[in-house]
Amino acid sequence: MSNQGDRKIILGIAGLGTVGAGVVKIVEKHKALLAARAGCPIEIGAVSARDRSRDRGVDLSPYNWVDNPVDLASGGVNVVVELIGGSDGPALALAREALGKGIGFVTANKALIATHGKELAALAEKTGAPLKFEAAVAGGIPIIKALREGLAGNAISSVRGILNGTCNYILTRMEREGLAFDEVLKDAQALGYAEADPTFDIDGIDTAHKTAILAALAFGTEPDIENLPTEGIRNIAPVDIEYAKELGYRIKLLGVTQQTEEGIETRVHPAMVPTRSAIANVMDATNAVVVDGDAVGQTVYEGAGAGEGPTASAVLGDIVDVARGANGPRLGVPAEKLKASSPVPVAKHRGTYYIRLRVDDRPGVMADITAVLAEENVSIESMLQRGQAADGGVYIVLTTHETVEASVAATLDRFTKLECVLETPTMLRIEA
């Protein structure tokens, strides 16, 4: 696509929510800048959204509106920008239509790429169509580009990220203000930091989609959202945040994908991270990704993970890339070379753990607890018992030495059955 004097990028934009409006604004505001950087003009050919009349803070009347987004993949559009969302439905139909015709496809849709990434990459490679999805992970942080291109000389050993701003915002406020999860969630919803239906965010699904994409890029495997153990932050209690602090940790919702001796382990869950680590100090709605590669060592990337500007920035980066003709393997390696994802079961995860129990305050309890740990071969790193829990009994908090998760699961199972244990134990993984 380079050195053709009369070429142009003509965009078809599907979905005109916050991000779509943001893309239109940048294309209009930075017309000359973008043309210089892209090597050709970038124009909007057509748009599609359900509601034509909504005020989006930008005049959309000059653009050709189409009712069916799939119709954007025609009429001279050479790059479709998909901002509809959802792993299937019109987003998928549009992707197949555009890529099938050799039309560039730029998307912010993590669910689509996490679910159909391999199929779409194969289609794109077959027709030669660019397929880009920088905006799908960590908003404005160019982490897809870093993994797919900048770090291409490395065997990656791990990628860990704070990938959901809503969760990080909630955890930050819980810690700072000592509030319960429900309180902060309600407030976050009122302030627009959380959706009315927050499930996707707080149950870790959004983070899982993003982690599946990072895993594919890091390890050359098919994106695999089906086999990705996912836990959210709904059950994080203020008392765990306090104990974390006391133990030198902070609780963050992490997406992790790493090479282990057993294979590639990919998982999403809240974890305790050392207070002094870079990732522990990522607060509020900020996102961060930590990548370890064999040559480069550790690199860290931080920025806004969502919102109009940051997401539109990522979309524009992709569009400029398409204009410049950058068109390597869509998922880092050619689709046909993507290895099947054979994730290591989380039961095989080796790590250290935090366990909190509420128990009866009577003699012999500690002996019962430690007997179980000994029998399951879980070695204690630290253990503390504190005064009365608000709802009766006392808390026993312990951290383990490195152990395999199956042993921890068996231990928790047995704890639950002990008469002295008053509620389901809390377990959090510790990430060094």
Residues that bind a second copy (CB under 8 A): 2-3, 22, 26, 30, 33-34, 36-39, 128, 134, 140-142, 145-146, 149-155, 220, 278, 281, 293-304, 309-310, 312-317, 319-321, 323-329, 332-334, 337
Q: In angstroms, rounded to a whole number, what is the distance separating the alpha carbons of residues 97 and 116?
A: 14
Tell which residue, 124, 34, 73, 114, has the closest CA to residue 315. 34
Smallest separation (angstroms) from a second copy to the CB of 335: 11
Q: How near is the Cβ of 186 to a second copy at its closest, in Å?
A: 27
**Which residues have C-beta within 8 Å of that of residue 217, sequence separation ≥ 6?**
144, 147, 148, 331, 332
Give the residue with the Cβ less far from a second copy, 150 or 351.
150
What span, in angstroms and rounded, lies between the C-alpha atoms of 99 and 93?
10
Helix (H) or strand (E) holding 264: strand 263-274
Q: Helix 238-247 crosses helix 165-177 at what angle (to 10 degrees)? A: 80
Which residue's CB is nearer to a second copy, number 35 or number 418?
A: 35
Cβ distance to a second copy smaller for residue 22 or 204: 22
Q: Which residues lie below 8 Å from residue 51, measured CB to CB, with a gap of 6+?
A: none
Considering the candidates 110, 132, 145, 210, report the single residue annotated as catalytic. 210
Largest CA distance in the chain: 85
E strands along 215-343, which residues? 249-260, 263-274, 286-293, 297-304
Report the alpha-carbon distance of residue 376 to residue 324 in Å, rounded.
Answer: 58
Joined together, the tokens standing for residue 21 give 């409006």
Task: With beta carbons less than 8 A apart as the criterion, state whether 285 and 162 touch.
Answer: no
From the CB of residue 117, how many other CB atoms can be counted at a distance below 10 Å? 26
Q: Which is nearer to a second copy, 299 or 385 (CB)?
A: 299
DSSP 399: E
Distance CA 341, CA 268 (A): 16
| Distance separating the N- and C-terminal Cα atoms of the chain | 45
Of 231, 232, 214, nearest in space to 223 by CA: 214
Q: Are strands 286-293 and 156-162 parallel, antiparallel or unpaired?
A: antiparallel
Known catalytic residue: 118?
Answer: no
Of 7 and 30, CB closest to a second copy: 30
> Residue 103 or 285: which CB sits closer to a second copy?
285
Asked if 204 contacts 166 with a C-beta cutoff of 8 angstroms, the reply is no
CA distances from 245 to 58, 251, 271, 352, 427 (A): 46, 9, 13, 16, 16
In the bound state with a second copy, the residue whose beta carbon lies nearer, of 152 and 346, is: 152
Please tell me the number of Cα atoms within 13 Å of 202 on its side-chain side. Answer: 21
- Min dist. Cβ of residue 332 to a second copy (A): 6
Active-site positions read 210
